[in-house]
Amino acid sequence: MEETVTISKEAHKIFLDQEQKIIFLQQQLDELKRLIFGSKRERFVSVADDQASLFDFGPQQQEVLSKREQITYERAKAEKKKPVRLFLPSHLERRKEIIEPKDVPADAKKIGDEVTEILEYTPGSLFVRAIIRPKFALAQDKGIVIAELPSLPIPKSNAGASVLSHIIVSKFVDHLPFYRQLKQFKRQDVVVAESTIGDWFNQGCHLLEPLYDTLVKNIRSQNYLQADESPIKVQDNHKKGTTHTGFMWVYHSPQTKQVCFDYRSSRSREGPEVFLESFEGTLQTDGYTAYNKLAQQGKITLTACMAHARRKFDKALDNDKARAEYVLALMQQLYAAEAKARDENLSHHQRYELRLQISKPLVDELELWLRENILQVLPKSSIGMAITYSLNLWPRLKKYLDEGKLEIDNNRIENTIRPLALGRKNYLFAGSHSAAQRAAMAYSLMGTCLLNGVEPFSWLTKTFEVLRETKTSQLHTLLPGFSEKEST
């Protein structure tokens, strides 16, 4: 005789709570293992149904596999491709080395040259620029004549424009802290005090400040921006040996290819509120709630990042593979449409039309699926949180379909933040809040160089040489990529 066990509602509730907790803890464990051992890539490769079934062996398949059978076949051997010789760009300096053959008869006639080009490297070297200005005494003691000294970045300093550029580019593009740069100088028997190189950097940033302000003004004047934020450790002057977590708020203009880093001591909503006080237009962000109040003011329309939503489903693959793969496959088709628009160099209007034809039906299908499946999954499971995240932001996620100028995601701005992440691993923290803001200035200008394909060292050196003599109204002409934008 079977015994019937009745469970009270309270016990049933406790059981469900415990089950939810177990799922949540398992999810955290899977995420930790993924961070430590897993791949950082989020690439998704969809698998056809017939391919997926190849490894789902049922009883009949197992029986077939247990019988061994020898199979022979022929395979055409692929030809090995010959290695392609490295192309050496024409803009590189050619240092000619002529080797004449020995014992050439006098009646031999030259018929040409055999040229072999080898790529060589000269390590960065310091040199002294000696500016010599002859002095002339005028007759009858009427004074002395001497040429004017060229404009120097830092008056009464022996640091030239190229050295200042090297210091900034080495730290914020090549991620070399000052102490490593000092070791490079020392290898050339040039000893520079750490306080000196720090002072050169501070004065260089002070000189660049008006240019940074011009960049900020340009970005604020746009009608479409992308925003993100990233932490940075800052040394706490009040507590010796401790650091404070500040934040770099990053604003990117896809239309002008400009980026601006704005340092704030916290991640509160005050950061974007102050920076975007005069901004009117569309702001693309992740799901961080600090941006929500901006939309309430009526001047700013928020749109979300599809890549952030996609990332949630990528993490849910271990939790609910079938559902996660379904969403990822749909999103893969959305990104294929974006790739098509990019490869064919479509205008904003053409991209809008393409999205209406290809992307909108996929987005509608995805929305219907999300609303149906939110009721079939546990809220605290990875797949449940992924669906909830997407539905909460759904009006913003599909907003990119309304205008061809809008991007599907924030990936470009995340790429501009990457140098900051690499820099943190090398110099660990900023020495003060002021130092962090100077770093924001450097990352802004170097990041804008990167977006416009401008070589940062050459650009910064030329900028330092003319910055003091440039009128305020003409500062925008010095920004990276200005000439390219003017000519298009």
What's the pLDDT tens digit per position in 150-186? 878 887 788 889 989 999 999 888 888 888 899 988 8
Higher pLDDT pick, 202 / 7: 202
**Strand, helix or coil for residue 481:** coil
What's the pLDDT tens digit per position in 223-244? 999 998 888 888 776 666 677 7
Least confident of 43-52, 98-107, 268-277: 43-52
Q: Provide the domain limits for residue 338.
A: 306-409
Q: Please give the share of the chain, as a percent, with pLDDT higher than 70.
A: 81
How far from 80 is each of 49, 151, 283, CA to CA, in Å? Answer: 34, 59, 51
- The secondary structure of 305-336 as a DSSP string is -HHHHHHHHHHGGGT-HHHHHHHHHHHHHHHH
Determine the pLDDT at residue 64.
38
What's the pLDDT tens digit per position in 410-422? 888 777 777 776 7
Measured distance CA(332)–CA(367) in Å, rounded: 15
For residue 66, count CB atoms less than 10 angstroms from its CB and return exposed for 0-12, middle for 13-18, buried for 19 or more. Answer: exposed
What's the whole-number mean pLDDT along residues 131-158? 82
pTM of the model: 0.76
Determine the pLDDT at residue 39.
60
Higher pLDDT pick, 10 / 57: 10
Band (363; pLDDT cuts 50, 70, 90) = very high
Least confident of 18-22, 271-275, 426-430, 475-479: 426-430
* Helix/strand/coil percentages in the chain, nearest 5: 50, 10, 40
For the chain, how many helices (H) and strands (E)? 18, 7
What's the pLDDT tens digit per position in 2-21? 555 566 767 767 777 777 77
Residue 136 within any structural domain of the chain: no
H or E segment and range at residue 25 = helix 9-37
Cβ(272)–Cβ(258) under 8 Å?
no
Residue 280 within any structural domain of the chain: no
Residue 393 within any structural domain of the chain: yes
Band (406; pLDDT cuts 50, 70, 90) = very high
**Token duo for residue 272:** 């974007």
Determine the pLDDT at residue 52.
44
Residue 363 within any structural domain of the chain: yes
Cβ(347)–Cβ(421) under 8 Å?
no
Residue 250 within any structural domain of the chain: no
The number of domains in the chain is: 1
Residue 399 within any structural domain of the chain: yes
Measured distance CA(290)–CA(326) in Å, rounded: 31
Residue 156 within any structural domain of the chain: no
What's the pLDDT tens digit per position in 324-357? 999 999 999 999 999 999 999 999 999 999 999 9
Q: How many CB atoms lie within 10 A of CB 442?
A: 25
Determine the pLDDT at residue 41.
58
Residue 438 within any structural domain of the chain: no
